[in-house]
Amino acid sequence: MEHERDEHRLRLSRRNFLGLGVSVAAGAAVGTLLRPGWLAPALAANELTEPPVLTSRKGVLKITLEEKILPVNVGGQVRNVWVYNGSFPGPTLKVRPGDQLLIKLKNSLAQETNLHTHGLHVSPSGNSDNPLLHVEPDETFDYQIDIPQDHPAGLNWYHPHAHGNGTQQIFGGLAGALLITGGLDKLDGIRHIDDRLLVLQSSQFDINGNVVTFGTGASGMGDPAKHTHFINGQLNPTITLEHDRLQRWRLLNATVTSLYQISLEGHTFFQIAADGNPFDEPVEMTSLVLVPGQRAEVLVRGGAPGSYNLQGTILQGPSNPTITLATANVLAKKGHGRNIPSTLIPLVDLRNFTVDHTRAIHFNAQGTIFTIDGKTFDPTRVDQTILLGALEEWTIYNDQTNPAVPHPFHIHMNPFQVTKINGVAVDAHSYQDTMNVPPNGNITFLTRFADFTGKTVFHCHIIHHQDQGMMSLFEVVAPNPYRRR
């Protein structure tokens, strides 16, 4: 069964791949292919670099993050971007399960902001991962986020979440990776593999290098085909690999509105994690769909020496161009062949437990009014009340027909296990916190509202949909009649 499922998924992704007209052989740059492998070329000037890393010490990561518009060299040009601590993307925060994050957020923007730790299973209340906080211009705010001892290890991220302002702040560049170490990092067959972080961001600039106001002028309603697409603030960086040697790529889609289908010419991906949650087994695919907010970790095995495009096809908007996000340069070294483990970290399958409550949630839009169950976001109105510890089954419907567009669903605090897409049963390989709801379609998932009470949100992760109302407040309340402690 397990094997058949993989075969099916592989076939499906191959079909998608071919359907997009992606040609593996034709795309390789001939000039680079002719370079003799034994010449051992120096690393390209545009080799992928990574943002600075801030690592916890003795269980604490205590930092200041200042949000400010600053001139920064982004994609080879100085542009006035919206950054944390002058870095585009923001510094990578590296912590362990059980650590405490002490973040002094300093707002040096001219508008309200706040901070969300996307993917963290932590308290949504007080000065923790609270999306309802308002940090005004020239204010600082001290966050304290306590990460549980049993938190899954993986790639999460942080970004502003102030309702109405998130679009421009994230479009300007405010996003950074938040890595929780452990888990797969310690697994035999994975732990010796070099890993690389790839933060995908897209923005648009005027002639003076200022970030344009999202949704105005040439960017229209946010046509990602008109944006400039960066990886780690670089345009088409080179990623150097060696023949037959594995690399682990940790990808984060930190864009406002770009749904990418990502493929590497001449190579397949072996996905090992999604949204900071490890897979139960590696899943081979020819292309990977990554919607705003999602993370994926994949293993890539260097193919024949040569140069290959890392391509992203933009899946929504008026046009669907395929752009080159990066160039993989495979060197002709040998002797590093390593098997990919056949199993990873087991999934606790929520289908084996009794569902306490079922909900249906409807996303829709008319013009610029984006709604959930017919209502735009109101921070004073609780839309769903949930008992602490409950296992719930939710079906999220995308009812928007004019135009029919995707809506990536994201929920704070607790990840979920997808069980159906458009009513058809699927076998998830991990939990996730962000999942696309296709046009005229629906997704069904199981989730347990474990450990934390309080108010927080779910929403569309196309940030301008969220800012225009497509967000909903829910509250997890005690007492807990379902589980004895």
By CB under 5 A, name the binding residues for Cu ion.
407, 460, 462, 465
The residues facing 424 across adjacent strands are 421
Confirm if 89 and 51 have CB atoms less than 8 A apart.
yes
Whole-number Å distance between alpha carbons of 94 and 266: 33
Whole-number Å distance between alpha carbons of 338 and 105: 43
Q: Which is nearer to Cu ion, 151 or 407 (CB)?
A: 407
Tally Cβ neighbours within 10 Å of residue 386.
19
Token pair belonging to 168: 């421009």
Provide, rounded to whole angstroms, the least separation between the CB of residue 464 and Cu ion: 8
Tally Cβ neighbours within 10 Å of residue 147.
23
Q: Which is nearer to Cu ion, 184 or 396 (CB)?
A: 396
Q: Which is nearer to Cu ion, 299 or 462 (CB)?
A: 462
Q: Which is nearer to Cu ion, 137 or 164 (CB)?
A: 164
Q: Which is nearer to Cu ion, 429 or 465 (CB)?
A: 465
Token pair belonging to 430: 């991990």
Provide, rounded to whole angstroms, the least separation between the CB of residue 253 and Cu ion: 14
Q: Which is nearer to Cu ion, 147 or 291 (CB)?
A: 291
SS3 269: strand
Q: Which is nearer to Cu ion, 460 or 473 (CB)?
A: 460
Confirm if 341 and 299 have CB atoms less than 8 A apart.
no
Q: Which is nearer to Cu ion, 116 or 465 (CB)?
A: 465
Give the DSSP letter of residue 352.
Answer: G
Provide, rounded to whole angstroms, the least separation between the CB of residue 437 and Cu ion: 8
Provide, rounded to whole angstroms, the least separation between the CB of residue 407 and Cu ion: 3
Q: Which is nearer to Cu ion, 141 or 458 (CB)?
A: 458
Q: How many residues are recorded in the chain?
A: 485
Whole-number Å distance between alpha carbons of 49 and 326: 12
Q: How far apart are the first and last CA of the chain?
A: 37
Provide, rounded to whole angstroms, the least separation between the CB of residue 316 and Cu ion: 10
Biggest distance spanned by C-alpha atoms of the chain: 69
Provide, rounded to whole angstroms, the least separation between the CB of residue 439 and Cu ion: 10
Provide, rounded to whole angstroms, the least separation between the CB of residue 453 and Cu ion: 28
Provide, rounded to whole angstroms, the least separation between the CB of residue 422 and Cu ion: 17
Q: Which of 140, 117, 119, 133 is nearest to 68 (CA)?
A: 140
Angle at 311 between CA 10 and CA 441, to 5 degrees: 55
Confirm if 447 and 394 have CB atoms less than 8 A apart.
yes
Whole-number Å distance between alpha carbons of 147 and 98: 5
Provide, rounded to whole angstroms, the least separation between the CB of residue 365 and Cu ion: 7
> How many Cα atoms sit within 13 Å of 348 on the Cβ side?
9
